[in-house]
Chains A and B, each alone.
Chain A
Amino acid sequence: MTFFDLARRNVTRHWLRSSLAVIGIVIGVIAIASLGIMGNSIGLMFGDMVSDVGDTLIVSPATGVGGGKLTDRQVTDITRAVGSNVVIPFSSTGDRISVGDKESAAMIYAIPAGDIPALLDVESGSYPKETGAGCLIGSQLAANSRENGLKLGARVRVGGETLRVVGVLKERGMGFDINPDYAIIVPYSWYSSHYDEDDYDQVIVKVRDVNDIDAVKESIEQRMNRREDVVNVMDTRGILESVFAATESITVFLAGIGAISLLVAGVSILNVMLMSVTERIKEIGVLRSIGTRRGEVMRMFIYEALVLGLAGAAIGGVLSFCTGYLVTVVFAGNADYLFHPMSLLYIVFGMAFGVITSVASGLYPAWKAAQLNPIQALRHE
């Protein structure tokens, strides 16, 4: 028998009252954990959708200058400005495509054949040659049009000409530069002769060292925008950062809502504990008179709050796992997000917060119990 044991017994003495207080904590823990998991999943979802890791600059013509295209010369200037970093110019268009007698439409990206390996990975097949009439197809396009016969080795007609599918790309996800998953990628020279076009839509600059990204951006802007704004340089890291900052504040906001519910639970624990102290004034008087010190009385009551908090946190932790599963499946469609360390951390965080709230709520009643005058407490009926 210890003080902890005594506290546990007193909690179970008022079974219903203690259960109600525990339910408050349980709800608070679940609210913090599942809302935190939800916010975290939103962030992870964005992270998965966006394939760029933030090492990319996208140079596009400033609107209204040169018909919205970048000339060969400008691309050369950019190449000079960025030093040893990789420069990939490209153009894009949409066109009707047909395989056999089946027609559809697709996005077409034209990239100099030599630059394709730097930007895209091939799942099967090989990269097209600059001079040949080969093309690559995106993974989703390949998956969606298998029955159309659009697959590795198939012949596809774009406009009036026939291209051979020499490779299928790996899935890349949504990007800030190009989205090749649903597209056809052709060598730029084929595109240039077929569409009679010598300029580029945009230039992708892959910066080797992420820390150089600001310097490279600066260098391009200095060289190109000397007199007037000729190009816009977009920094994907900046975009990513703002996206993640936004999801982070969503997470904090959601967890904050959870914290409020836990605060309410704390008030109910405070109430239960104050009731417990008031009911047991005489008992406290007896305990004090037969030699229980103030600190020991205080410990007894803090343990009581701790027992409530631990019970609430344990039940809440288990239920958080269940609701977290629901949240990730329903909102994010991917239960794997639940097992992400950050998501699990939110469950631990919720539980810890539950225990801390309970004990903090028990402090005042415990102090009050310890301060009772033993003579008056003994006389209390």
Chain B
Amino acid sequence: MPVISFENVSKVYPLPAGDVVALDGVDLAIEQGEFVLIMGPSGSGKSTLLNIMGSLDVPTSGEVTIAEKRIGGMDDDDLTLLRRDHIGFVFQQFNLIPLLSIVENVEYPLILKGRQNGTRERAEEVLKAVGIEKTHFTHKPGEISGGQQQRVAIARALVNDPDFLLCDEPTGNLDSKTGTAIMTLLDKMNREEGKTVVMVTHDPRMTEYADRTIRLVDGRVAE
């Protein structure tokens, strides 16, 4: 059973000037433990695909199954819970919550799941695994470097033990050295922990980390 599966998925944005077809009959399946890149020129439907995979959006037609759940007919709360419990988001701009300290940022998704003991310990454990030193735990996101922020963001994405990581240009805001370190970390999570990773990128160098690449052109998967 694939982690993500799309069957003949289309997404149409109705605009006054005429409908825009962002996705046009996409079929794909991403299996457990894969490292998949999604590439394509701008306007090819990458963002739409990413939003649907992240259950931030629903398709106009077709069947999408994420973590063995069909998202057709889900309401906003169901989609939100799906994101919370099964998907780990990593953004280009890190998107940590500025009000919260490093460790609280990682703890936050655990708290969303309800009060439970050991959330702080779990957050610290994951932070250590992504290579953040203990002295940084109580800092605010603005006080650490971009590379470190992205590590924290990956820890936040991993803390609820999601079915897959969904990364949107995770190295786009980093210099190449830090970017390589982040890619090494994601690669490690994929190889050693068996985490499924789906990554949207423009950067052709990323193909060396990936098991396979899905190329999108004009809303279709190019073979």
Residues B99 and A13 in contact, CB atoms below 8 Å apart: yes
**Is B122 interfacial (CB 8 A cutoff)?**
no
Which residues does chain B contribute within 8 Å of A9, judged by CB atoms? 99
How many residues of chain A get a CB closer than 8 Å to chain B's CBs?
22
**Is B142 interfacial (CB 8 A cutoff)?**
no
- Within 8 Å by CB of A2, from B51, B77, B97, B111, lies B111
B62-104 interface (Cβ within 8 A of A):
76-77, 80-81, 83-85, 89, 91, 95, 97-100, 104
**Is B112 interfacial (CB 8 A cutoff)?**
yes
Q: Which residue of B lies closest to A1 (CB)?
A: B104
A280-311 interface (Cβ within 8 A of B):
282-283, 286-296
Q: Which residue of A lies closest to B157 (CB)?
A: A290
**Is A10 interfacial (CB 8 A cutoff)?**
yes
Residues A289 and B89 in contact, CB atoms below 8 Å apart: yes
**Is A264 interfacial (CB 8 A cutoff)?**
no
Q: Say how far B91's CB is from chain A's closest CB, in angstroms.
A: 8
Q: Mark B105-131, 1 if CB is under 8 A from A, else 0.
A: 001110110000000000000000000
Q: Say how far A116's CB is from chain B's closest CB, in angstroms.
A: 76
Which residues does chain B contribute within 8 Å of A296, judged by CB atoms? 112
Residues B56 and A6 in contact, CB atoms below 8 Å apart: no
Q: Which residue of B lies closest to A293 (CB)?
A: B80
Which residues does chain B contribute within 8 Å of A2, judged by CB atoms? 111
Q: Say how far A11's CB is from chain B's closest CB, in angstroms.
A: 11
Q: Say how far A261's CB is from chain B's closest CB, in angstroms.
A: 32
Do A10 and B109 contact each other (CB < 8 Å), given the known contacts A375-B51, A375-B57?
Answer: no
CA distance A289 to B56 in the complex (A): 7
Residues B80 and A286 in contact, CB atoms below 8 Å apart: no
Q: Say how far B50's CB is from chain A's closest CB, in angstroms.
A: 10
Q: Say how far B6's CB is from chain A's closest CB, in angstroms.
A: 18
Residues A290 and B56 in contact, CB atoms below 8 Å apart: no
Q: Say how far B158's CB is from chain A's closest CB, in angstroms.
A: 12
CA distance A46 to B122 in the complex (A): 68
**Is A187 interfacial (CB 8 A cutoff)?**
no
Which residues does chain B contribute within 8 Å of A365, judged by CB atoms? none
Which residues does chain B contribute within 8 Å of A378, judged by CB atoms? 56, 91, 95
Q: Which residue of A lies closest to B119 (CB)?
A: A1
Residues B85 and A375 in contact, CB atoms below 8 Å apart: no
- Within 8 Å by CB of A290, from B51, B57, B84, B98, lies B84
Which residues does chain A contribute within 8 Å of B104, judged by CB atoms? 1
Which residues does chain A contribute within 8 Å of B95, judged by CB atoms? 282, 286, 378
Residues A293 and B81 in contact, CB atoms below 8 Å apart: yes
- Within 8 Å by CB of B99, from A6, A374, A375, lies A6
Residues A287 and B80 in contact, CB atoms below 8 Å apart: no
**Is B54 interfacial (CB 8 A cutoff)?**
yes
CA distance A361 to B179 in the complex (A): 45
**Is B195 interfacial (CB 8 A cutoff)?**
no
The bracket for how many chain B residues form the interface is 20 to 34
Do A290 and B76 contact each other (CB < 8 Å), given the known contacts A1-B100, A375-B51?
Answer: no
Which of B84, B95, B98, B156 neighbours the largest number of chain A CB atoms within 10 Å of its CB? Answer: B95
Which residues does chain B contribute within 8 Å of A291, judged by CB atoms? 80-81, 83-85, 109, 112, 160
Residues B97 and A283 in contact, CB atoms below 8 Å apart: yes
CA distance A163 to B181 in the complex (A): 114
Which residues does chain A contribute within 8 Å of B98, judged by CB atoms? 283
Which residues does chain B contribute within 8 Å of A374, judged by CB atoms? 56
Q: Mark A341-381, 1 if CB is under 8 A from B, else 0.
A: 00000000000000000000000000000000011001000
Residues B97 and A375 in contact, CB atoms below 8 Å apart: no
Which residues does chain B contribute within 8 Å of A10, judged by CB atoms? 99
- Within 8 Å by CB of A1, from B51, B54, B108, B156, lies B108
B154-172 interface (Cβ within 8 A of A):
156-157, 160
Which residues does chain A contribute within 8 Å of B97, judged by CB atoms? 283, 286-287
Which residues does chain A contribute within 8 Å of B112, judged by CB atoms? 290-292, 296
Which residues does chain B contribute within 8 Å of A13, judged by CB atoms? 99
Which residues does chain B contribute within 8 Å of A282, judged by CB atoms? 95
Q: Which residue of A lies closest to B50 (CB)?
A: A375
CA distance A158 to B38 in the complex (A): 116
A255-291 interface (Cβ within 8 A of B):
282-283, 286-291
Which residues does chain B contribute within 8 Å of A289, judged by CB atoms? 54, 56, 83, 89
CA distance A295 to B99 in the complex (A): 20
CA distance A282 to B98 in the complex (A): 11
Q: Say how far A369's CB is from chain B's closest CB, in angstroms.
A: 14
Do A292 and B107 contact each other (CB < 8 Å), given the known contacts A9-B99, A286-B95, A374-B56?
Answer: no
Which of B91, B98, B99 neighbours the largest number of chain A CB atoms within 10 Å of its CB? Answer: B99
Q: Say how far A122's CB is from chain B's closest CB, in angstroms.
A: 72
Sample of 23 A–B contacts (CB below 8 Å): A1-B111, A6-B99, A13-B99, A282-B95, A283-B97, A287-B97, A288-B80, A289-B56, A290-B83, A290-B84, A291-B80, A291-B81, A291-B84, A291-B109, A292-B112, A293-B80, A293-B81, A294-B76, A294-B77, A296-B112, A375-B56, A378-B91, A378-B95
9 interchain residue pairs of minimum CB distance: A291-B84, A286-B95, A293-B80, A291-B83, A9-B99, A375-B56, A291-B112, A374-B56, A1-B104
The chain A residues found within 8 Å of chain B, CB to CB, are 1-2, 6, 9-10, 13, 282-283, 286-296, 374-375, 378
A1-B107, A2-B111, A294-B77 given; 15 more Cβ-contact pairs under 8 Å: A10-B99, A283-B97, A286-B91, A286-B97, A289-B56, A290-B84, A290-B109, A291-B84, A291-B160, A292-B80, A292-B84, A292-B112, A293-B81, A374-B56, A378-B95
